[in-house]
Amino acid sequence: MNPEPSILLFPQPHEIGLERKTERCPRTRRKIPSPLSGRPDEYQIVFTETEIRILGSGERAFRYADQTLRSLEQRYGLDFIGHITDYADIPKRIAMIDLKRIVWKREAFLRHLQELSDWKINGCLIEYEDKFPYENSPGIAHPRAFSKNDIRAVVREAERLGIELIPLVQCFSHWEYILRHGRYAPLREESAVIQQGCPRNPAVFRLFCAMAEEVIALHGNVRTFHIGGDEARLLGKCPACAEKVRKEGITALYGDYLAQCIRFLNEKGIHAYFWGDFYRHHDAIPQLKNLRCTAVDWAYGETSARAQSAAFPRIPCGRALFGTEEAARYAEVLLPDAATRTLFAFPHRKVIEKDGMRAAGAGNIANPGNILAHAEAAVHCGSDAVIGTYWASSNSLSMPYSVYELRKAGAALLGAAAWNLAFEQKEKKSFFMRFLTHAETKIRTGEELEFLHSLEHHFAPLPEMPDRIPGTNPIAGKLRLEKRLAQFRDARFFPPDTCVCPDLSPLFNSTLGFRVGDRECTFTDETLSFLPAGMHFRHGFPFRLGNGLLLYGCGYDSIPSGTVITCERKKYAALSFLQSAVGGCGTEHGKWGELRLVYSDGSRHCEPLIQYDNLNAWYQPLQGRRTRIAFTASPKPSLRLGLHQFTLPNPFPEKELERIELESCSSGVIALAALTLLPVPRAPEGKNTIFPAFPGIRKDMEETRNAMKELLAPEIADTSAEELCAIAFGGIEAELGAMERISAFFQEQHPDS
């Protein structure tokens, strides 16, 4: 016998003891039911001269053994003598598929289920949102929702592959896809906000039950069901809820409703999962005692189960540091280790366990390091499950993040690490290379795959461009186009003395941290206090930053919803605003407010402020179609804040501008930090070499757009592909258009420059 060099499979078996056979001869295969040592999904393959014996702890173990044999045969053949002993480190390995925003193709769904099985994942959490064919709750289902036959095909395929389907139907929070419809508006916790239903309104519970009943009926034997419940940020807003909070506390409001939903499922013999972020601020939910449920601790910033600091909102600045008094006070959940000077990076799951609850961790497959950390924490805590979440978008109305095809390496790591954690920890640097040798994907190299996983968004433009962009895929191509245009970002076309920066001080009503008098900023946990006062240049324009102007929409009587900025009755070529949407939400069509230009002859131009077009959210600093990032900062790990610049060419530059009216006309809060008006500019100093060759960029853009459509075609419907391409290239097209207009303007005014 000849000792065999290292054999690499995916996932890697725990123990491989094989030597190459010198003679080939037919061998029989025999399956022998055996409990072995009792570890999850354990099997053993014994290669002798005459047979291949497969010992397994159950039907699923035999399936995994067959899978290992196929993988071994494809890469190395089966001419071996020896054994393979294998088992899972974590019993339940659950990958999430999120169907928000993007319309999937049925074939892609079925194909990805097969891939999950290949990676030894045995659970699939599915958030259908509006892609389920609801019949008893009219108006909720998307026009391109899956049909009942599609769902039945998914259920059959999952059953064939030994994958447990875990449906997710939000019980009252993240109901944007429901509450945006007028017929469901009475269910809102706050009349103008579509994020959350009212837990005290019996109709909210009835709607959840009706939707859950339909999903359960179509899935057949449902053992586990996820009720969501995360980011319930409006608790206590309506009068009935506020009164309950006043009398009994917020835990009573949240816990009573959650318990009601969980009992509904328990009575059907179904175990309930719910997102556990309520435990970040509360020690216990006593109403859940003796119910069959698991709190899922989602935490996406950590890349190791132990670290010198841990995210913990109960400590000032939100992070506990090893060796501090605050960390010592919470030692029982932070688990300080003197030898390594580290803390347990997932303290909230320990808070959940202190409450007598079952806990499971959930990482984000966009961040492979985070997935590996959660697998490590699950093994450390003896957890029976670990979850890898794929988020198509933060909610049904917001910007899509990515398609599953570009994130699936993270799901593969979930399966591999939850199966054999020690190997994946030891070989984590080679993960992407190993994945590519065992996976069907259009991404060619480990380097570009790792780069794609470093990007929060794949379609929206980035506020900060990386130095190096590897790969030939269309995402990398799009970023290169943006990089070619980035020279436009800090160009100083217009010196300060050529521009008008109106004195807005009589209008300002807040600090740059969005504090209005003694009123705390209640719509976010963060501030924009990182902005320094003074003169700044952004995208050719000078801006004078002082304090801020907040315009509150519906429901805020004490703070204005609009303002009027008087002008000097001059002719202006363009107006540039530093602004962002900072709280609340727009209408169901994304409208937050309106900008009106009023001229001295009484005419006016109205410009609606639309999210992702000319108004973006400060907590999601991404360029829109007509906005660019003006300022961005990261006050906390994994969090970026920013202000956006919207430059509006004056549609009537021949007219004198009398005033500008700005109004918030939804429930949203709009912040204005600065405004600059551009009269006829002076000639730039020297030859104008700022502008690139527009035809060349446009040609490259069309080629990259077509490549992106080819990438998306097998995965999603044509309508979703068109939308994602519009998001990816709309900002580039808008910026090219703006540059062409400015270039033409320069040429008209200064043809010799």
- The series of mean pLDDT values per 10 residues for the chain, 753 residues long, is 70 95 86 92 95 94 96 93 97 97 96 96 97 96 96 97 97 95 93 90 98 97 97 92 96 98 98 97 95 97 94 88 93 96 97 96 96 97 97 88 95 98 96 91 90 92 86 94 76 76 82 63 56 80 83 72 89 90 78 94 95 86 83 70 88 93 87 87 50 77 96 95 93 78 64 55
Shared domain for 594 and 515, answered yes or no, is: yes
In a domain, 448, yes or no: no
**pLDDT for the residue numbered 1:** 40
The amino acid at residue 118 is D
Name residues whose C-beta falls within 8 Å of residue 339's C-beta, 6 or more positions apart in sequence: none
Shared domain for 576 and 673, answered yes or no, is: yes
Shared domain for 405 and 354, answered yes or no, is: yes
Shared domain for 500 and 384, answered yes or no, is: no
> What CA–CA distance (Å, rounded) separates 528 from 551?
16
Q: Where are the beta strands (DSSP E) in 246-373?
A: 271-275, 293-298, 306-307, 309-311, 319-321, 343-344, 358-364
In a domain, 436, yes or no: no
Shared domain for 591 and 721, answered yes or no, is: no
> What CA–CA distance (Å, rounded) separates 6 from 9?
10
In a domain, 65, yes or no: yes
Handedness of CA 235, 241, 245, 246 (dihedral sign): positive
**pLDDT for the residue numbered 686:** 46
Q: What is the DSSP string of 352-383?
A: HHHTT-EEEEEEETT-HHHHHHHHHHHHHHT-
Q: Residue 290: which CATH number? A: 3.20.20.80
> What CA–CA distance (Å, rounded) separates 740 from 737?
5
Domain end marker among 678, 705, 721: 678
Query: Considering only CA atoms, which of 163, 195, 183, 2 is closest in space to residue 67?
Result: 163
In a domain, 457, yes or no: no
Shared domain for 657 and 721, answered yes or no, is: no
Domain end marker among 323, 344, 365: 344
Report the Cα 639 to chain-centroid distance in Å. Answer: 12
Q: Distance of CA 681 to CAs 102, 114, 521, 540, Å? A: 44, 61, 39, 11
Domain end marker among 86, 106, 122: 86
**pLDDT for the residue numbered 106:** 97
Q: Name beta bridge partners: 564.
A: 661
> What CA–CA distance (Å, rounded) separates 645 from 500?
16
Which secondary-structure segment (H or E) carries 452?
A: helix 446-453
> What CA–CA distance (Å, rounded) separates 543 from 644?
12
The torsion defined by the Cα of 130, 131, 137 and 139, in degrees rounded to 10, comes to 70
Residue with tokens 């013999």: 269
Rg (C-alpha) for the chain, rounded Å, is: 29
Shared domain for 288 and 150, answered yes or no, is: yes
> What CA–CA distance (Å, rounded) separates 298 from 229?
12
The phi, psi pair for 447, rounded to 5°, reads -65, -45
- By CB atoms closer than 10 A (0-12, 13-18, 19+), residue 6 is exposed
In a domain, 654, yes or no: yes
Shared domain for 710 and 649, answered yes or no, is: no
> What CA–CA distance (Å, rounded) separates 266 from 439?
39
The 3-state DSSP class for residue 649 equals strand
In three-state form (DSSP H/G/I as H, E/B as E, the rest C), the secondary structure along 682-716 is CCCCCCCCCCCCHHHHHHHHHHHHHHHHHHHCCCE
| Structural domains of the chain, count | 5
The distance between the two most distant Cα atoms of the chain, rounded to a whole number of Å, is 98
Shared domain for 324 and 411, answered yes or no, is: no
> What CA–CA distance (Å, rounded) separates 527 from 326?
23
In a domain, 444, yes or no: no
Asked if residue 620 lies in contact with residue 574, where contact means CB atoms within 8 angstroms, the answer is no
**pLDDT for the residue numbered 489:** 61
**pLDDT for the residue numbered 21:** 86
Q: Name beta bridge partners: 296.
A: 275, 360
Strands 224-226 and 271-275 come out as parallel
> What CA–CA distance (Å, rounded) separates 240 from 261?
19
Shared domain for 520 and 629, answered yes or no, is: yes
Strands 358-364 and 385-389 come out as parallel
In a domain, 486, yes or no: no
**pLDDT for the residue numbered 316:** 81
Shared domain for 568 and 621, answered yes or no, is: yes
Shared domain for 316 and 170, answered yes or no, is: no
The amino acid at residue 434 is R
Query: Considering only CA atoms, which of 234, 235, 173 is closest in space to residue 204?
Result: 173
Domain interval for residue 63 = 2-86
Query: Considering only CA atoms, which of 280, 284, 275 is closest in space to residue 359?
Result: 275
> What CA–CA distance (Å, rounded) separates 91 from 131?
30
**pLDDT for the residue numbered 2:** 41
Strands 534-538 and 639-649 come out as unpaired
Q: Residue 583: which CATH number? A: 2.60.120
Angle at 326 between CA 322 and CA 332, to 5 degrees: 75
The phi, psi pair for 379, rounded to 5°, reads -65, -45
In a domain, 433, yes or no: no
